[in-house]
Structure 1
Amino acid sequence: MNFMRIFFLSVGLVLACQPAAAQPRAAECLIPSKPGGGMDLTCKLAQKALHGQPGAPELALSYLPGGVGAVAWHTIVSQRRAEPNTLVTFSGGSVLNLALGKFGDAEVKDVRWVAAFGADYGMVAVRADSPWRTLDDLLNALKRDPKKVLIGMSGTVGSQDWIKMALLARMAGIDPRKMRFVALEGGGEQFIAMQENHVQAVSGDTSEALLHTRGGQVRVLAVLSERRLPGALADVKTAREQGYDVVWPVIRGVWMGPDVREADYRRWVQAFANMEANPKFAEKRARAGLYPFSLTGDALTRYIEQSVAGHHRQARQFKLLRER
């Protein structure tokens, strides 16, 4: 046996005896808003549902608010493109902002879409001691004098919270441009502002509302779902029931940087597919105030592309599209 053959056999034996590359012990779920809103809830649900799952690392939560997701998007795309264990949470509002050009010249293909694992719905809420007890009450107050009703929302004109109220207002014969909004960073800030009476109503999402209705301080006037929702909001009428045909589902999930290796991307896609297949996940999702919605990998990417195209059409109605 010559020297080179002995050398390569020795190297092979050493490699064979080494353990396979272990999964990382920790990963990061980056939340592009302040604590307390739907983005925060999404990462916390993933954190709990992945805990103890074979092959899934522990998720550590971090926060990077700004621009209703724009700061986190540009940070990952420009500086942290290839991190194999950094996930960023998104919502239907993030997809809308992407469609409207609020992330600059960003496009769907600029990141890797991993998984969507729940959905909630738009809603409109007021303080529990508000004189408005129905959606009609609020919209009639807006019709009488839009300047006297401040509405808290996540983002600015053109955000999903703005469009939800704009659709309702238009059906009530109100010019959406005459409504007064206060732009806040995430659902947590919206409800704090309302409790302090800085705003008199909130346009947000049901999962965020559930975090605040349990204390009896908030009254949800309408949910923007096809039919009444089960659970804590079962007694709340839909906007449709009250004569306003507006339905607004909000998907929630995570994406990764564009240069993440295919093997690492597929590992995360599979981890979330396994998570959603676990019978216990449905219970965790329900406790988080979310409803079934499951897409991963390529199927999710196609859904995001279709959603962006749909938002383009809708935005033209309100002349919101940013020139590119």
Structure 2
Amino acid sequence: MTMMKSAIKLMGAAALLAMATMGQAAAVECIAPADPGGGWDFTCRTVGKLLYDEKLMEEPVQVTNMPGGVGAVAYVNIMSKRPADAAVIVATSTVGVTQIAQGKYPAGTDAMRWIGMLGTDVGAIVVAKDSPYKTLDDLMKAFKENPGSVVSAGSSGAGGWDHIRLLMLAKAAGMAPEKFKQIRWVQFDGGSPAVTQMMGGQVQVVSTDLGEIAGFVESGDARILGVLSDDPIPTFPDAPTAKSQGLNVTGYNWRGFYTGGDVSDEDYKKWVDTMKSLFDTEAWKKAAEGSGLVPIWRGGEEFEAYVIDQAKQMEQISKEIGVL
């Protein structure tokens, strides 16, 4: 009996291992490292649904929200518990890479395998509909006159990508870097909660991704002071760019995925190929553009090299503006 039980246990372990190494054939979990409603949550839920709808997955994708540390909690979870589990992917973006570059995650980019990016969001500076600030110039004047007079917010901590984008604008407007620390910054787990608090009067301005708060703009509850893109955004063509207001600043935030650092080359390639297949569908392009994303593909080794290079750039920018 003991030998039979042992054999059954071994068979069960082998079955579990087979499921884990099957990657896309097994039930897949997508971890969104934030609360529902944010950009990472959107990435997991939209991509997960389309993977199943477009028959690129045999079973529906399970979405798990794992907020904490602007993605650090999810990073630790994959590193410590599921480094070789090909049935789990994690949504990430420029925000996450910025945190890594600043040493706020427990390891560098080499701890994971970077699957690909499917599109990029655009940074936006928004205020409540009845805000006294009508232009970016109005806001920057307020910062320069009294940096602590305006409470700002975003979905990253002080020194994170949302914060950096606001400081890049302040720098372009002529604000002295030594005054950056006087700007009051509040972190929320997502752009939507930040805008909700802004509508309640707790904060006065939000720096975040346009895709996260597009609904508030469409409803008229939030007003765009500037989008951080080279050209106007098709979804909101009347929203002025920072460049058109004399501030030469752009702030893109790509959307993509990583998986554990010990996932096999075979399963990693399956994920890259699967995401590329999804990117090529009309359904993804429609979903992306409808949420303010610009569909752009980078995958596999090219994407891994891009992430490494971007981490270096974020480290340099952080040093230049005095947050690192």
Is the structural similarity TM-score above 0.5? yes
Question: Which moved further from structure 2: 288-297 or 43-52?
Answer: 43-52
1:156-195 to 2 correspondences below 5 Å: 156-174=157-175, 175-195=179-199
1:57-136 to 2 correspondences below 5 Å: 57-104=59-106, 106-136=107-137
Is the contact between residue 41 and residue 288 of structure 1 (CA under 8 Å) also seen in structure 2?
A: no
Question: CA offset at residue 224 of structure 1?
Answer: 0.3
In the other structure, the counterpart of 2:230 is 226
Question: CA offset at residue 319 of structure 1?
Answer: 3.4
Opposite residue 177 of structure 1, the aligned amino acid is K
- Report the Cα distance in structure 1 between the residues aligned to 2:196 and 2:56, rounded to whole angstroms: 39
User: Any gaps of 5 or more consecutive residues in structure 1?
Assistant: 1-20
In the other structure, the counterpart of 2:13 is none
- Report the Cα distance in structure 2 between the residues aligned to 1:22 and 1:75, rounded to whole angstroms: 18
Is the contact between residue 32 and residue 63 of structure 1 (CA under 8 Å) also seen in structure 2?
A: yes
1:315 matched to 2:318? The reply is: yes
Larger radius of gyration: 1
Opposite residue 254 of structure 1, the aligned amino acid is F
- Report the Cα distance in structure 1 between the residues aligned to 2:198 and 2:323, rounded to whole angstroms: 27
Opposite residue 140 of structure 2, the aligned amino acid is L
Question: CA offset at residue 115 of structure 1?
Answer: 1.5
- Report the Cα distance in structure 2 between the residues aligned to 1:172 and 1:211, rounded to whole angstroms: 29
- Report the Cα distance in structure 2 between the residues aligned to 1:139 and 1:128, rounded to whole angstroms: 18
- Report the Cα distance in structure 2 between the residues aligned to 1:196 and 1:107, rounded to whole angstroms: 38
CA RMSD of aligned residues (A): 1.6
Question: Which moved further from structure 2: 88-97 or 149-158?
Answer: 149-158
Is the contact between residue 116 and residue 254 of structure 1 (CA under 8 Å) also seen in structure 2?
A: yes
- Report the Cα distance in structure 1 between the residues aligned to 2:26 and 2:53, rounded to whole angstroms: 11
In the other structure, the counterpart of 1:9 is none
In the other structure, the counterpart of 1:270 is 273
1:217 matched to 2:217? The reply is: no
1:212-291 to 2 correspondences below 5 Å: 212-231=216-235, 233-291=236-294
Question: CA offset at residue 279 of structure 1?
Answer: 3.0
- Report the Cα distance in structure 1 between the residues aligned to 2:271 and 2:254, rounded to whole angstroms: 18
Question: CA offset at residue 55 of structure 1?
Answer: 4.2
Deviations 1:115-148 (A, max 9, x none): 2101011110000111111111111222232222
TM-score (norm 2): 0.88
Q: Judging changes above 3 Å, is the alpha-carbon distance between structure 1 residues 288 and 306 closer, same or farther for their aligned structure 2 residues?
A: same
Question: CA offset at residue 249 of structure 1?
Answer: 1.0
- Identity across aligned pairs (percent)? 33
TM-score (norm 1): 0.88
Deviations 1:248-296 (A, max 9, x none): 1110011101122222222111111111122332112111221021111
- Report the Cα distance in structure 2 between the residues aligned to 1:22 and 1:111, rounded to whole angstroms: 16
Is the contact between residue 68 and residue 186 of structure 1 (CA under 8 Å) also seen in structure 2?
A: no
Q: Judging changes above 3 Å, is the alpha-carbon distance between structure 1 residues 99 and 22 closer, same or farther for their aligned structure 2 residues?
A: closer
Q: Judging changes above 3 Å, is the alpha-carbon distance between structure 1 residues 76 and 25 closer, same or farther for their aligned structure 2 residues?
A: closer
SS of match in other structure, 2:203: coil
SS of match in other structure, 1:319: coil
- Report the Cα distance in structure 1 between the residues aligned to 2:152 and 2:242, rounded to whole angstroms: 17
Question: CA offset at residue 23 of structure 1?
Answer: 5.2
- Report the Cα distance in structure 2 between the residues aligned to 1:55 and 1:193, rounded to whole angstroms: 39
Q: Judging changes above 3 Å, is the alpha-carbon distance between structure 1 residues 137 and 304 closer, same or farther for their aligned structure 2 residues?
A: same
In the other structure, the counterpart of 1:16 is none
SS of match in other structure, 1:255: strand
Q: Judging changes above 3 Å, is the alpha-carbon distance between structure 1 residues 22 and 33 closer, same or farther for their aligned structure 2 residues?
A: closer
Question: CA offset at residue 206 of structure 1?
Answer: 1.0
SS of match in other structure, 1:214: helix
- Report the Cα distance in structure 1 between the residues aligned to 2:31 and 2:62, rounded to whole angstroms: 8
- Report the Cα distance in structure 1 between the residues aligned to 2:161 and 2:98, rounded to whole angstroms: 7
In the other structure, the counterpart of 1:24 is 25
Question: CA offset at residue 22 of structure 1?
Answer: 10
